[in-house]
Amino acid sequence: MKKKTFEQFRIIIVILLAITVGVSVSQGYSVVVPISIIVATFLVYYFWRKVDEVTVDERDYKIAGKGAIATLNITTITLVIIGATLVASGINYPEFSKIGYLFLYIVCFILIIKIITFMFYQKKGDK
């Protein structure tokens, strides 16, 4: 399969996914949304594996890595600021502190996963 054909299939899959999600949400079928996202992901991956041409190169992987780190940093810093603000305002509004702690626990979970994956890939090396 050519790269252009793959791009056309991908656009069609995304359009069908958007229609499916929109209709299922408006009709109240919340179970359909995650199932359709999973099916669309597998379809895109299947068609991507059928492409004979080069679809990504080292530059794309480097840019994706930088984008992932930037996203992780921005997300964790934002969640820490929101969580700390909610915990601090929990003096007057106790329900806010519970939500703030939830945000801070989510940040801890994200950072632990980051450390584990970093150690895994560091041990694995560039094999």
Which pLDDT score is estimated for 124? 76
Query: How distant is the alpha carbon of residue 75 from its chain centre?
Result: 12
- How much is the average pLDDT of 33-55? 89
**64-109 pLDDT tens trace:** 889 999 999 999 999 999 999 999 998 888 889 999 999 999 999 9
Residue-range domain boundaries for the chain: 3-49, 58-124
Question: How remote is the C-alpha of 85 from its chain's centroid?
Answer: 25
